[in-house]
Amino acid sequence: MVEPSPYGLHPTLGNSAIVERALLQSETFIPNSCAVATRRLLRHTAAVPVYLLTFHAYRSWRPDHPKGYVRQGHGILPPDHAMAKQYDRNATHPQVTFDNDLQQILVEGTRDICDRRDWRLHYVATEPTHMHALISWLDDTLHWKFVRDTLKRLLGMMLAQHTQTKGRKWFVRKGSRKRVRDQAHYDYLMNEYLPKHSGRRWSERVQGGV
């Protein structure tokens, strides 16, 4: 069965240009008022924001990581063992590791948060060190920062409630986001990248999760 696309009403409609061409070819068969309404609908659905949001567990990505680390205002820096020790001295909370129970909270919590806000959750994947959530929403006035910050804040509250702790940092500052470019990018995330994660996962394509 062909999966519905987050980019339009048909999986092949990957951008507004394709949508526009399809409408121009079909407008002679559609009453003018219907054609205008259809064009507006397709333009909207073709531009649905789809983002991959990533949250790393607190202190899980240290400056001595083999791939380097990111420092605000300095970009990506090479591994630094001395800086890692400095980070450890400055830390105010213990390192967080998402075990099986916490991964389940992250997965079910993300589903609940999205359901309550009419955000479409396509996939959520976890590891002991981080989580990903692939989310889209129809309201094009909604900024990705609001979605990211809301999700992160509420997940932190759920983790605190589950562990009965207060004031603990669960995630690193902010969180990364990557907007899905096109249908090929979306398919890669859904079919290859996210399924590779070893922790708890859930996909809208698999009833009951994965």
Model pLDDT for residues 131-180, shown as the tens digit of each residue: 999 999 999 889 999 999 999 999 999 999 999 998 889 998 878 899 99
Q: Where are the domains positioned within the chain?
A: 1-47, 50-60+95-203
More confidently predicted of 24 and 124: 124
* Helix, strand, coil % over all residues of the chain, rounded to 5: 45, 15, 40
Average pLDDT in the 6-23 region? 40
Q: Which of 51, 52, 39, 34 is nearest to 13 (CA)?
A: 39
Asked if residues 195 and 133 have their Cβ atoms less than 8 Å apart, the reply is no
Tens of pLDDT, residue by residue over 30-55, are: 445 544 443 443 444 456 899 999 99
Buried b (16+ CB within 10 A) or exposed e, 31-66: eeeebeebbeebeebbebbbbbbbbbbbbbbbbeee
The answer to whether residues 184 and 107 touch, using CB atoms and an 8 Å cutoff, is: no
> What's residue 72's pLDDT?
61
The domain 50-60+95-203 belongs to what CATH superfamily? Transposase IS200-like (3.30.70.1290)
CB 35 within 8 A of CB 27: yes
* Amino acid 171: pLDDT: 94
- pLDDT surpassing 80 at residue 86: no
Q: How far is CA 58 from CA 23, 43, 64, 93, 117, in A?
A: 49, 40, 15, 8, 26
pLDDT in tens, 189-200: 999 999 999 999
Residue 187 pLDDT class (50, 70, 90 cuts): very high
Rounded to whole angstroms, the Cα distance separating 60 from 106 reads 16
Q: Using the structure block, give the residue that is written with the tokens 């009951």.
A: 208
Element (H, E) at 156: helix 144-163
93-102 tens-digit pLDDT: 778 899 999 9
pLDDT of residue 202: 97
